[in-house]
Amino acid sequence: MNRISLLLFALSGICFSAKSQRFEKTALGAKVNINETTTEIQFYSPGIVRILKYPASKIFTKRSLSVTKSPETVALKIVQKGDVLMLYSKDLKVVLNVRDGQINFNKSDGKSLLKEKMAGASFTDFNDSGTKSYTVAQSFVLEKEEPIYGLGILQNGKLSQRNQKIKMVQNNTWDFIAFFQSVKGYGLFWDNYSPTTFNDTAEETSFSSEVGDGIDYYFIYGTNADGVVSGMRKLTGQVPMFPLWTYGFHQSKERYKSQAELVSVVKKYRELGVPLDGIIQDWQYWGNNYLWNAMDFLNPEFSNPQKMIDDVHQLNAHLLISVWSSFGPATKQYRKLDSLGALFNIGTWPESGLETWPPNMDYPSGVRVYDAYNPKARAIYWDFLNKGLFSRNIDGWWMDSTEPDHLSYKPSDMDTKTYLGSFRKVRNAYPLMTVGGVYDHQRAVSSDKRVFILTRSAFAGQQRYGANTWSGDVTSSWESLRNQIPAGLNFALCGIPYWNSDIGGFFAGSYNKSWNDGSGAKNPLFQELYVRWLQFAVFTPMMRSHGADVPREIYQFGKKGEPAYDAIENAIKLRYSLLPYIYSTARKVTNDQSTFMRALMMDFSNDKKVLDINNEYLFGQSLLVAPVINAQYTPETVVNVNEETGWNRNVTKGNTIAAVNFEQIKSKKVYLPAGTMWYDFWTNKRYAGGQELTTATSLNTIPLFVKAGSIIPIGPNVQYATEQKWDNLELRVYEGANGTFMLYEDENDNYNYEKGIFATITLNWNDSSKTLTISDRNGSFPNMLTSRTFKIKLMTAGGTVQGAYRTISYTGHKISLKL
């Protein structure tokens, strides 16, 4: 071939070597056929690469349910040397062996990040409900001691997910996301929605999905954990702001049986002076099971629902209400969806039309799950939700069973036809579709009220839908409490920051047996567990008390002056004092792709001791939280139940105990990460990082530390989040390092912030000069404070507060002061 021919061939984008496979240069990277498999390397950004593999005889087209990002124009250099094809962006070097198809991902300097296993891709013929498809798998090779994190909400108690085999099919308490990230600063998202097995062994790490038309995954390089989270959100969607009130305290139980009971709970909190922002109504306000999820108040005990809603609002609280992914046969929704062919024939909750346990199957409920993959079905769902509930000024949605409940499983259930193919093909993405349907439709009709959804399941990309996922109907046990910390951390490391759990655990019947007044809330065993769970929940994105069998309202645990009551009240008030810190952190989550619950490896990856710590974390970037997760005053009781058997109120015999002295001081070991100094939040004593401490605890306190250089705003004593503006904030400055904090404020509950209608004040601490600089206020919004008072307190190395408060007036203009 002469030079002219070579030039024309190169310009056409087709390159080859006489001794190697040819490749095709594409708009996003390269494409090559290797051993009857087509491999495509597509750069979506300099640090995000999509890999597609499929039989060469097929055409693979797919619209991702999770990925929303369009590919960027990326400057690429593509070089082939023999059998090695190299694609360079400014962040990555991707190497493809054009003989065997193996792909290696490297930093731009050539340092290895992740390798596919040689011959690690496989396609096995699979008949997917009459459609020819494949079971697809891909294997990778990780370094021997390389921790990885993510995979969703897992109840296995582990932080690093090495040496695990996990069957990923959404269920009540495990929410699966086929994504992990490594301490080396990369993440991998396996974009498949069918039942998938993740398996990590000494030889390989793999994803294998029951059905797929091809292998489709994304490699994300972010240099560190925050960068990987940022990359995942850029790929699958950003996080909207939640209303300020959602960060307050929420009370719930299974269930308030009348509107009078629900309103009385809010009134009682107001009488007691205990802060409360949300009350949540669980199921059966619609009546019997044949009317399941009617989205209307058909139960005679809710005869005047508008009055109930108005009463709650007049008490300055908000109301969330339960809605499900299924409908009873007597509902209008059922009939309309059935006419569309948008109801599934799979076993779901409730199985019987009668409220009995075990279910009386002589009277089947007829309840069916709706096809959330169908856009017309999602529109019908919203239409009834809007007319029945949103029009009444309900504040948020408790979307239960969004996995959805799949009981009495039969293999043929997976052949069920959905709008997007078999249920098998799209099974794990169900929560994304049903939650997204409500978010998208509410956004379309109103910008005055931010969407807030509490949901039981999640999938990749769900962070873009205003949803806070809880960890399902977990058992009331210390083991379950311990599991919640790594469950929340791994979920956050998948890029989804909003998570919570039922405070006290859901199934608590074992604490309610043989107790002298029939109320497990007076049982010291449950009191200790509940208090510790509540204290942990102070430092989660939503603080929500809920469960069955044992009532959860504060006054059920005693009265003021009694240990359990006082510990509960103090925890709730601590949460409210931190609202300026929490809401400002929420802005960083939305604007800067930050994270609320931060595994210690996110900020201290150079300290090898923290890489697999599963019982401590940062809340925001300043507060180190070490919840008490072992019983200190009472024996632990282990309860083994599941979603089905948990409803049996006679699962275990009760546990009672003689009088307990909750006044004793106890202790707990805490590891302080290296690389910074730490202050005890309660005593202000300072400690060097890189050491394990034995710290004092009481029923009122858990170990809580503040990173040196932090600036923590402390809010006013309020009964609800918006009771007072932040015009008299306390600023605690912790010396020992430079630091910065951005105080964020807006209108609290609309989408005007998306138009730039908000204000920020940046606070900078210079440790060497002991100078605090409060910047000019940036931005504005209606009715904002134009002047305010800051009370400044300097925390010093001696464990004491340096001097009294320094009080200054601030009118929006820069102030610098030495402390």
345-390 pLDDT tens trace: 999 999 999 988 889 999 999 999 999 999 999 999 999 999 999 9
What pLDDT is stored for residue 110 in this prediction?
94
Active site residue 473: yes
Catalytic residue among 91, 175, 282, 400: 400
Active site residue 400: yes
261-270 pLDDT tens trace: 999 999 999 9
Q: Which of 672, 663, 670, 668 has the alpha carbon at shortest distance from 697? A: 668
- Which tokens hold the place of 513? 């047996």
Residue of higher predicted confidence among 409 and 655: 409
41-70 pLDDT tens trace: 999 999 999 999 999 988 899 999 999 999
Q: 141 exposed, middle or buried (CB, 10 Å; 0-12, 13-18, 19+)?
A: middle
Q: Is the dihedral of CA 692, 693, 699, 702 positive or negative?
A: negative
Q: Which of 579, 509, 538 has the alpha carbon at shortest distance from 748? A: 579
Residue of higher predicted confidence among 791 and 519: 791
Catalytic residue among 226, 371, 403, 502: 403
Asked if the model's pLDDT at residue 12 lies above 60, the reply is no
398-425 pLDDT tens trace: 999 999 999 988 999 999 999 999 999 9
Asked if the model's pLDDT at residue 699 lies above 80, the reply is yes
What pLDDT is stored for residue 516 in this prediction?
45
Write the DSSP assignment of 720-780 as a string of letters. Answer: STTSS-SSEEEEEEE-SS-EEEEEEE--SSSSGGGGT--EEEEEEEETTTTEEEEPPPEE-
In this structure, the number of other CB atoms found within 10 A of the CB of residue 235 comes to 25
* Residue 21 CA neighbour count, 13 Å, CB half: 21
Amino acid at 466: G
Catalytic residue among 175, 282, 473, 749: 473
759-816 pLDDT tens trace: 999 999 999 999 999 999 999 999 999 999 999 999 998 765 555 789 999 999 999 9
What pLDDT is stored for residue 801 in this prediction?
59
Residue range 584-589: mean pLDDT, rounded: 98
Residue range 480-507: mean pLDDT, rounded: 98
What pLDDT is stored for residue 655 in this prediction?
56
Residue range 239-245: mean pLDDT, rounded: 98
Q: What CA dihedral angle connects 449, 453, 459 and 465, to 10 degrees?
A: 0
In angstroms, rounded to a whole number, what is the distance separating the alpha carbons of residues 186 and 14?
Answer: 31
In angstroms, rounded to a whole number, what is the distance separating the alpha carbons of residues 83 and 98?
Answer: 5
In angstroms, rounded to a whole number, what is the distance separating the alpha carbons of residues 501 and 546?
Answer: 9
Question: Residue 18 contacts by C-beta under 8 Å, 6 or more apart in sequence?
Answer: none
Q: Which of 114, 131, 127 has the alpha carbon at shortest distance from 190? A: 114
The mean predicted confidence, pLDDT, of the chain is: 94
The domains of the chain are located at: 11-141+186-221, 274-451
Active site residue 109: no
**CATH superfamily, region 11-141+186-221:** glycosyl hydrolase (family 31) (2.60.40.1760)
Asked if the model's pLDDT at residue 19 lies above 80, the reply is no
CATH 3.20.20.80 fits 274-451, yes or no: yes
Record the pTM. 0.95
